[in-house]
Structure 1
């Protein structure tokens, strides 16, 4: 919990800093405007027409595909708790973006930008990135690494497309990705807490609902019977003798072990053919308490985000200290736009990497 809260503080703490730099300072507004102007100039000179047409519909297409994929995985792999909090994170991220844009933040007219209306954070980026994050949260363990890589890549691509289309400035997309990542960390924390609570009560989130309810009723009936045995109700109460109670306890233990053996198949590395036990056709559960089982990675890594952030900072400093004015078509203008694109990519990599570190370690 401490690590998740620290990650949440870092992600959401960067949002007001970027808002102050991009909205409240002359240098920040000038860099944002130069990047947007350079992107508009590149649309007519460098970017082909099919790419521009695809960029117009990219946020909607990515959002729909990510939402459908998250729904399919939630139903197929019965990721109910993860799907619940993933849906909550999608709703919360979009509400947070709209509340900040229309109710909290304001862009002062410093005489730099042509349009002084506030577009911070980006609603298009938030919508697509939140659904990509939901797919990452609901993804099964063997799909998690690939989903994380593609999720971060597509989220960064959507943020860049909003700049290329002239809808938003780079800081708008960066703030949207950080907001989505913060809600993803919170959804991961709540999912793990709920799974832990269900595990203590005997209700595993990955099991069938009917089987879980049956085990819950059986557990309650056993506890009631044990409580009745332990209470002294006078001569009218019947208490089975000690040997009969011991026999019932052994029968219950045997039935519980049989149910757990039938309902918990998993990987066993003893059989070379299909990963099951030697001489058996069905895979059996063989826990590895000391971490010898192969772990399934969850990417991207934080080192990627750190490298992109360093490059972005270097390019921003170069654009600020360049002796010539930062306008479209100049070297400083292209450096500023490149820094904006790298900043969007670093925000996406940082968000997905932090969420990946908070996910439960998975083993085959």
Structure 2
């Protein structure tokens, strides 16, 4: 029989147990379900074995509960998300934020096998009616629950995925204006930009909004732009990373991170139209004459173009707050002006910075017939996303064409 291994005190060590000579600490080495080596450390052998016992119990409990159909949605989601080793930190953080805020403390406590289609539909309806979530946010929740239940289906814990069709059914019951992805009309876009440019309060936002509406970049791509990412002489923008805030685990604070695009389509060169070039030049001259360049450093990236009043980078939240203040002030003034001038007011909808990306895409679809070109400029991973926007734009153009024809044929019928 082979000699058993012993620690420095002569105690027999079981399989997987070791004592390091460097600091005399004990460790236990084991392999997790996907084949990765893991380590547990302790200052003495008794403490190490307590940790081993707890680990083995947790492993058995987790497997037995899941296999016996006693798992909750929460535990199954945790099981699912642990397999997503492909996720970038920013995506992982967004998933965690969405699940923790809207699912875990309520719906997530239900037993997986007890959940029916009607329960999911009722939950989505509750999120919309009682918690006042937008349809797009509910889509994000569904994007986490659907694969969670799908995992249980593939593991033969349940036979059908109860989330199947629930989001689609909710969409049927909501007004079309809530479920379709909106864009500003040309008249609204013109009114918004003219108001910002002429406002003594909001004019400093003009460069950012011009770039967003003139490139269709995602907000994190735009706020993360550095001077080295643009070429004013040649007239192009190199989109190669995203700036985002994400909540830190176990903390109420958020941290700035730079991430590269999830797909190759996200990295792209966008040609610079004259208005966009003018906006960059305006921003550069303003910084030279005033508060100076942005000094923020995030994950080794520096030289960011846009900055807030504190000289730091901008966040999507701060941009959305500014947009809300602008459309509220504009609408108030526009209603007064319209009454005085005896005309119909051009009212701006309640919208966010993502609306501006959608607006650019819609304008592009109105002048470009090749969806592949639109896909490349927008950085869409799937052509289906591009076709959806193109179809919406075509519907509007078709209606305008019929209206023009009707006006021309007025009196003929």
Which of the five TM-score ranges fits, normalised by the shorter chain?
Answer: under 0.3
Greater per-residue helix proportion: 1
TM-score by length of 1: 0.22
Alignment TM-score, normalising by the size of structure 2: 0.20
Structure number with higher relative contact order (C-alpha < 8 Å, ≥ 6 residues apart):
1
